[in-house]
């Protein structure tokens, strides 16, 4: 008996391998939802093994569907008759049978109740449709010793495989054989949806098993589809609700997380959202995640799963964690402030702070961090609230966040509380600061709230305080400029300025130099910064605190008594700091600092404006590095393209060099379809020599001083930008963004 069962199982397995399911999924009529018509592999295998079909048998199948089960059965039996009520489905199945050369298979259309007596009798009859309630006519078509197997509904509507046979006395015997599991895992679901083939699924299962990952996480990387679209379709197929983080945030009860083991939630890919009595709702990014253990470990009688995308799952997890860390303090602060100020407010409701708004604020900050944004913008207009992130220099809308005016007011109040501002004051601009830790990185948040026509607007600047320091090799400098920069750092004294607009990477360039100085134990390096953006081992760093009377200038005066070799001052923003920087250089120190200026030569005018004597500048200034950031082409989708004729005409008024090439990103998953990923510095470098020193001392007009610098080898921003374009680092379209129109064409050298 065991040998017979083993033999049957082997034949069923071989038949199923010989006929891959995807042959019956890729049908010519796209309107057919074929995947739902094919039972999962494990269910088919179990039914056919119970049927014990022999090579000499004639089989009747009632409910053909896509035809896959009938085709597999034809590999086991001598003849198969298939009945399907849907004529379109039956015709599609017949086409597949013909293509596969299945000559022992007859397809008919009908509801199956009457069977096909003219082609009987049958050794086996398999009924897969619940429409056939009365099986008397079918049983009458069984051959001697024949069996009828049907899927029927048992307790709780669960599918049960039932066997009918005729006894020697002519009685119909019924026996329930087993419950059949018709649930499909995600891999099988995607296969039945026609989104993957059997080879891809088998490989994904192997990788998932080796890496201990859910199959969906492996397959989603191979599918060229937006996560939201993929997971919505999966939710539909699996009859699960799908939701976005924006829909879930107002319902989240963060305190639920504290009642669960983190390792349990992590291993099961679950986040508890809300509980109502004995029922629990959880979010998951794995459609196959099991909730069975919850019933054994926690006092819930019902658990509902909501499917979310992996990105929303991570954001949701981090948001709940942040809420647990900050809710108590923030809510207490909010309540206290409101209580103090309620008597002075005309409309207390406008200043309401609800827990879900704190969670929403955290979610927006997490979104900004995950996107690598430098700024988060919240703006109110007449008919909408707009939320945007500045990523790689450009603003991008977060359209998934739909806020009402009331929500926007509450969110602004949360931001004000976080920045220690007055929530009752709505007439004047306010500024504040806060801290955030996300992904193991500390962020200093610079918050500015501004009154506007339709309500207050807020901008939060995200300044990472720790992370990977960019190496000099990754700054975007040519090999010669890197060599010159390193040489500047080795000088015994002098002033080096890195200039550019806000957010142009000036600090990054200085930190790259500091990281190399930190490795040289023979020199002492001190910094005064606001804020300290990176912690560097081997360098003494100090945070400027002007609120308590400790400014950049105060730090400089103190530093010269600490025997330093190199001093970094975060920014020269006033006369006092500029004079202290010059004095520190004159007393034998290398001084590094930043300045807001449009280009390397324009920096001199800025220092003149700070009332520093021209001779002092001329004697101490070693070099000026001016820079702006350009978007870097995504290396995963970079391709060579034809240049824009209008930009070419500006760049090369006379003729385009034969060697000129340009590239762009096509857009891919790695860059979120933008074609660019990250930014790189476009640098202008002015090394101060004797001729330039003379021009500074005599305070040449800026135009003449620039001409002198050009004659002395000034590396212009145009030179650097073109090198990046030809190398395929930045797209040609970035040049008008980093170069003013008068600097697009080559500048004339030898004018003086």
CA atoms of 126 and 249, how far apart (whole Å):
49
Percent above pLDDT 70 for the chain: 87
- Poorest-confidence range of 115-129, 183-197, 485-499, 593-607? 183-197
- Render pLDDT for 302-321 as a digit per residue (tens, 0 to 9): 888 888 888 788 778 877 77
Instruction: Tell me the mean pLDDT in the region 286-292.
Output: 76
Pairing of strands 430-438, 441-450: antiparallel
Instruction: Tell me the mean pLDDT in the region 379-403.
Output: 88
Q: Are 559 and 526 spatial neighbours (Cβ–Cβ below 8 Å)? A: yes
- For residue 353, give the nearest of 368, 376, 333 by alpha carbon: 333
531 upstream amide cis, omega within 30 of 0:
yes
CA atoms of 683 and 6, how far apart (whole Å):
74
- Of the two residues 446 and 278, the one the predictor is more confident about is 446
What strand order describes the sheet that includes 566-569? Answer: 540-543, 525-529, 566-569, 590-595, 494-499, 621-633, 676-687
CA atoms of 623 and 626, how far apart (whole Å):
10
Q: CA torsion sign, 490 to 491 to 493 to 495?
A: negative
CA atoms of 566 and 494, how far apart (whole Å):
10
Domains along the sequence of the chain with CATH: 2-179 (3.40.50.150), 315-464 (3.30.450.90), 472-633+680-743 (3.40.50.300)
CA atoms of 581 and 394, how far apart (whole Å):
34
Report residue 718 as tokens. 């145009």
Round the average pLDDT of the chain to a whole number and report it. 83
DSSP state for residue 415 in the 8-state scheme: H
- For residue 145, give the nearest of 164, 127, 128 by alpha carbon: 164
- Residue 715 CB partners (closer than 8 Å, separation 6+): 478, 481, 683, 684, 685, 686
Cα of 436 vs its chain's centroid, Å: 19
Q: How confident is the model at residue 265 (pLDDT cuts 50, 70, 90)?
A: confident
Size (the chain), residues: 752
H or E element, residue 682: strand 676-687
Give the phi and the psi of residue 176 in degrees, each rounded to 5.
-80, 120
- For residue 622, give the nearest of 459, 461, 496, 470 by alpha carbon: 496
Asked if the model's pLDDT at residue 616 lies above 90, the reply is yes
CA atoms of 588 and 565, how far apart (whole Å):
8
Distance set, CA 606 to CA 285, 307, 427, 624, 710 (Å): 54, 56, 34, 12, 19
- Residue 339 CB partners (closer than 8 Å, separation 6+): none
H or E element, residue 449: strand 441-450
Query: 152 burial class (0-12, 13-18, 19+ CB within 10 angstroms)?
Result: middle
Q: How confident is the model at residue 322 (pLDDT cuts 50, 70, 90)?
A: low
pLDDT at 467: 57
pLDDT at 435: 84
Count the neighbouring beta carbons within 10 Å of the beta carbon of residue 50.
Answer: 18
Pairing of strands 494-499, 525-529: unpaired
Q: Are 530 and 570 spatial neighbours (Cβ–Cβ below 8 Å)? A: yes
Which span out of 82-91, 191-200, 433-442 was modeled with the highest average pLDDT? 82-91
Asked if the model's pLDDT at residue 333 lies above 50, the reply is no
Q: Token pair 């309630």 is at which residue?
A: 133
Q: Are 602 and 580 spatial neighbours (Cβ–Cβ below 8 Å)? A: no
121 upstream amide cis, omega within 30 of 0:
yes
647: which strand partners?
A: none
pLDDT at 328: 38
Asked if the model's pLDDT at residue 91 lies above 60, the reply is yes
Pairing of strands 271-276, 79-84: unpaired
- Of the two residues 27 and 136, the one the predictor is more confident about is 136
Report residue 207 as tokens. 């990788």
CA atoms of 620 and 484, how far apart (whole Å):
17
CA atoms of 415 and 409, how far apart (whole Å):
10
- Render pLDDT for 691-747 as a digit per residue (tens, 0 to 9): 999 999 999 999 999 999 999 999 999 999 999 999 999 999 999 999 999 999 998
Q: Please, where are the H alpha helices in 504-613? A: 506-517, 552-559, 575-586, 602-609
């Amino acid at each position: 008996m065991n040998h017979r069962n083993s033999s049957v199982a082997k034949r069923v397995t071989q038949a199923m391998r010989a006929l891959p399911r995807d042959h019956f999924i890729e049908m010519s009529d796209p309107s057919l939802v074929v995947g739902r018509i094919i039972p999962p592999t494990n269910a088919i295998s179990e039914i056919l093994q119970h049927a014990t079909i022999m090579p000499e048998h004639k089989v009747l199948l009632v409910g053909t569907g896509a035809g896959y089960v009938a085709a597999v059965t034809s590999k086991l039996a001598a003849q198969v008759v298939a009945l399907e009520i849907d004529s379109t489905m039956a015709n599609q199945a017949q086409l597949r049978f013909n293509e596969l050369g299945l000559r022992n298979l007859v397809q008919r259309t009908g509801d199956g109740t009457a069977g096909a007596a003219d082609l009987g009798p049958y050794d086996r009859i398999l009924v897969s449709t619940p429409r056939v309630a009365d099986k008397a006519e079918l049983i009458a078509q069984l051959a001697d010793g024949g069996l009828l197997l049907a899927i029927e509904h048992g307790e709780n509507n669960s599918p049960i495989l039932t066997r009918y046979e005729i006894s020697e006395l002519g009685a119909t015997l019924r026996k329930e054989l087993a419950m059949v599991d018709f649930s499909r895992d995600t891999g099988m679901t995607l296969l039945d949806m026609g989104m993957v083939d059997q080879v891809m699924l088998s490989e994904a299962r192997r990788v998932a098993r080796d890496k201990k990952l859910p199959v969906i996480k492996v397959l989603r990387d191979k599918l060229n589809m937006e996560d939201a679209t993929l997971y919505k379709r999966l939710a539909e197929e699996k009859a699960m609700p799908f939701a976005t983080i924006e829909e879930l945030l107002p319902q989240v009860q963060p305190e639920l997380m504290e009642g669960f083991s983190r390792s349990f939630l992590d291993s099961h890919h679950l986040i508890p959202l809300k509980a109502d009595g004995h029922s629990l709702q959880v979010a998951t990014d794995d459609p196959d995640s099991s909730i069975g253990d919850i019933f054994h470990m926690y006092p819930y009688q019902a658990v509902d799963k909501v499917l979310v995308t992996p990105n929303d799952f991570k954001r949701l997890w981090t948001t709940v964690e942040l809420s647990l860390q900050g809710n108590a303090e923030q809510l207490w602060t909010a309540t206290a402030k409101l209580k103090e100020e309620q008597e002075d407010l005309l409309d207390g409701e406008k200043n309401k702070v609800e827990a879900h708004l704190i969670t929403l604020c955290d979610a927006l900050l997490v979104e900004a961090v995950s996107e690598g944004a430098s700024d988060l913008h919240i703006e109110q207009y007449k008919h909408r609230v707009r939320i945007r992130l500045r990523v790689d220099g450009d603003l991008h809308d977060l359209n998934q966040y739909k806020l009402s005016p009331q929500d926007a007011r509450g969110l602004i109040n949360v931001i004000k509380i976080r920045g220690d501002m007055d929530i009752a004051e709505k007439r004047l601009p306010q500024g504040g600061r806060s801290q955030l830790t996300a992904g193991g990185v500390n962020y200093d948040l610079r918050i500015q709230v501004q009154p506007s026509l339709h309500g207050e607007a807020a901008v939060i600047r995200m300044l990472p305080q720790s992370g990977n320091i960019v190496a000099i090799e990754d700054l975007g400098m040519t090999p010669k400029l890197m060599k010159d920069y390193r040489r500047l750092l080795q000088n015994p004294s002098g002033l080096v300025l890195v200039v550019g607009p806000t957010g142009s990477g000036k600090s990054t360039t200085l930190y790259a130099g500091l990281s190399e100085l930190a490795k040289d134990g023979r020199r002492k390096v001190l910094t005064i910064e606001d804020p300290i953006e990176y912690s560097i081992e081997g360098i003494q760093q100090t945070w400027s605190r002007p609120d308590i009377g400790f400014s950049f200038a105060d730090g400089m005066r103190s530093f010269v008594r600490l025997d330093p070799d190199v001093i970094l001052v975060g920014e020269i923003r006033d006369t006092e700091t500029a004079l202290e920087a010059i004095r520190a250089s004159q007393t034998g120190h290398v001084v590094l600092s930043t300045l807001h200026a449009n280009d390397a030569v324009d920096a001199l005018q800025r220092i003149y404006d700070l009332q520093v004597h021209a001779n002092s500048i001329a004697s101490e200034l070693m070099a000026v590095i001016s820079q702006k950031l350009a978007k870097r082409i995504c290396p995963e989708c970079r391709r060579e393209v034809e240049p824009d004729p209008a930009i070419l005409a500006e760049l090369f008024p006379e003729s385009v060099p034969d060697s000129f090439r340009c590239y762009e990103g096509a857009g891919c998953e790695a860059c979120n379809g933008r074609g660019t990923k990250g930014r790189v510095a476009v640098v202008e470098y002015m090394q101060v020599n004797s001729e330039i020193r003379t021009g500074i001392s005599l305070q040449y007009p800026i135009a003449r001083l620039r001409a002198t610098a050009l004659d002395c080898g000034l590396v212009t921003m145009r030179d650097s930008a073109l090198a990046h374009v030809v190398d395929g680092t930045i797209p040609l379209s970035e040049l008008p963004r980093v170069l003013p129109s008068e600097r697009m064409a080559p500048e004339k050298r030898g004018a003086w």
